[in-house]
Amino acid sequence: MDDAPLLSVEDLRVDFRIDGQSQTAVAGVSLSLSKGRTLGPVGESGCGKSVTSTAIMRLVPQPPGVYAGGRIMFDGRDLLTLSEREMRKLRGGRIGMIFQEPMTSLNPVYTCGEQIAESLSVHSRMNAKAARARAIELLSLVGLPSPSERVDDYPHQLSGGQRQRVMIALALANDPDLLIADEPTTALDVTIQAQILELMADLRARTGAAVLLVTHDLGVVAETCDDVAVMYGGQVVERAPVGALFSDPQHPYTIGLMAAVPRLDGGQSRLETIPGSVPPPWIRTPGCRFASRCPLATDHCRSERPELAELAPGHAVACWRAPIEAVAA
């Protein structure tokens, strides 16, 4: 059982029912993540990666959201079968989450220290004095300057990077086994981004936590992740160790993403683009969701949806045309 993944998402489907219309945001996603490893769901806006992370925390608002199928196994328990009370014990305890925008996630009427101390008192049963001391220790751990003073600051008194560090301290307060980070460096300048990612890598190394790092930035994936799950249209279209994905991408969408990354070596005359746009979630297609934008699509691709199939150990792709040796080269 030691080799069993800490988190296993199995054929997860999440719908949103708005004005009598059903929209599929997550369409049969499967992921697995073991302790001490970082998995990066990656894709452009609207691919379903943030909804997937929110669904794992059981934070999809119901209604309009509906968990329409699948399982979310965490340490052998299906989170979708737990009561809300049981989920509250896990959130902020064994499962921590860094939300995309700390200014809307932190409570503006409580100090940063009070918010961290509340989590500690609820999950670790610390008294007020011990919780405050631990809050200062956590703020120091995440690199916030003058933590004994900042502990009494309100979120609006901090910069964006400092608020993100507070969010990380809050997420790590109870030594979670699983840390979910949803675009943790969005809207931060490059220097602060590097510091935040370095901090997360250091904390993972020290605590052994599993990290689900949601991002659209392939550079962040290359620097921080062990494994990658490329998402498109609410589905995982390619899953591989980070080295294999960058050296031998096999899905046409992944290949397109790689080609669209700017290069600094002068070997790129113009920035590549993927023609077309992601189909809206209320449009259901019988075949591959990427077929309308894919240069390799056939009638088979448009009529029948490909399932993830393993091409090499740990490297799976959902594409009828794989392996794509000529394009990948």
Residue type, 47: C
Tell me the C-alpha to C-alpha distance, in Å, between residue 111 and each of 4, 63, 156, 175, 181: 40, 32, 10, 21, 22
* pLDDT at residue 95, as a whole number: 94
Q: What is the pLDDT of residue 203?
A: 77
- Domain end marker among 130, 145, 175: 175
Same domain assignment for residues 76 and 187:
yes
Mean per-residue pLDDT over the chain, rounded: 88
pLDDT > 70 in the chain, percent:
95
The reply to whether 199 and 130 lie within a common domain is no
Bridge partners of 181, per DSSP, are 98, 213
Kindly state whether residues 184 and 170 are assigned to the same domain. Answer: no
- Domain assignment present for residue 52? The answer is yes
Q: Binning pLDDT at 50, 70 and 90, where does residue 328 land?
A: very low
Q: For residue 122, tell me if it sits in a domain.
A: yes
| Cα-based torsion angle of the residue sequence 121, 125, 126, 132 in order, rounded to the nearest 10 degrees | -10
In a domain, 129, yes or no: yes
- CATH number reported for the structural domain that contains residue 75 in this entry: 3.40.50.300
In terms of domains, do 123 and 171 share one?
A: yes
| Residue 37, in any domain of the structure | yes
Answer yes or no: do 24 and 146 share one domain: no
Q: Which of 175, 210, 239 is the last residue of a domain?
A: 175
pLDDT of residue 329: 36
The pLDDT, as a whole number, for residue 2 is 52
For residues 245 and 161, membership in a common domain is answered with no
Query: Rounded to an integer, what distance in angstroms lies between the CA atom of residue 171 and that of residue 176?
Result: 8
What are the residues whose beta carbons fall under 8 Å from the beta carbon of 145, sequence distance 6 or more?
A: none
Q: What is the DSSP string of 190-256?
A: HHHHHHHHHHHHHHHHHH--EEEEEBS-HHHHHHH-SEEEEEETTEEEEEEEHHHHHHS--SHHHHH
The domain of 117 spans: 96-175
User: Cβ(125)–Cβ(155) under 8 Å?
Assistant: no
Q: Does some domain include residue 2?
A: no
Do 180 and 44 lie in one domain? The reply is yes
Q: Are residues 116 and 230 in the same domain?
A: no
Highest mean pLDDT, choosing among 75-79, 200-204, 257-261: 75-79
Other beta carbons within 10 Å of 50: 19
Number of domains in the chain: 2
271: pLDDT strictly greater than 70: yes
User: What integer is the mean pLDDT of 190-218?
Assistant: 84
Q: What is the pLDDT of residue 265?
A: 64
- Tell me the per-residue pLDDT of 206-258, one tens digit each, with 9 for 90 and over: 888 899 999 888 888 988 899 999 999 999 999 999 999 999 999 999 999 88
Do residues 111 and 89 share a domain? no
pTM, two decimals, is 0.88
Q: How sure is the predictor about 267, in pLDDT bands with cuts at 50, 70 and 90?
A: low
pLDDT at 244: 93
According to the model, what pLDDT value does residue 264 have? 66
**pLDDT at 197 (0 to 100):** 85
- Cα separation values, 57 from 35, 185, 210, Å: 17, 20, 15
Residue 1 lies in a domain: no
More confident residue, 45 or 312: 312
The pLDDT, as a whole number, for residue 99 is 85
Q: Kindly state the average pLDDT of the residues 274-289.
A: 84
Instruction: Spell out where 65-119 has E strands.
Output: 65-74, 77-78, 95-98
Tens-digit pLDDT profile for residues 49-86: 989 999 999 999 888 989 999 999 999 999 999 999 99
Same domain, 135 and 246: no
Looking at the structure, do residues 71 and 215 belong to the same domain, yes or no? yes
Determine, yes or no, domain membership for 322: yes
For residue 47, what pLDDT is reported?
Answer: 86
Distance CA 87, CA 250 (A): 38
Query: Of 126, 156, 175, which marks where a domain is finished?
Result: 175
Query: 269 pLDDT exceeds 70?
Result: no
Sheet hosting strand 309-312, strand order edge to edge: 95-98, 178-182, 210-214, 38-42, 227-232, 235-241, 315-317, 309-312
Same domain, 31 and 13: yes
Look at 187 and 175; give whichever has higher pLDDT: 175
pLDDT of residue 204 exceeding 50, the answer is yes
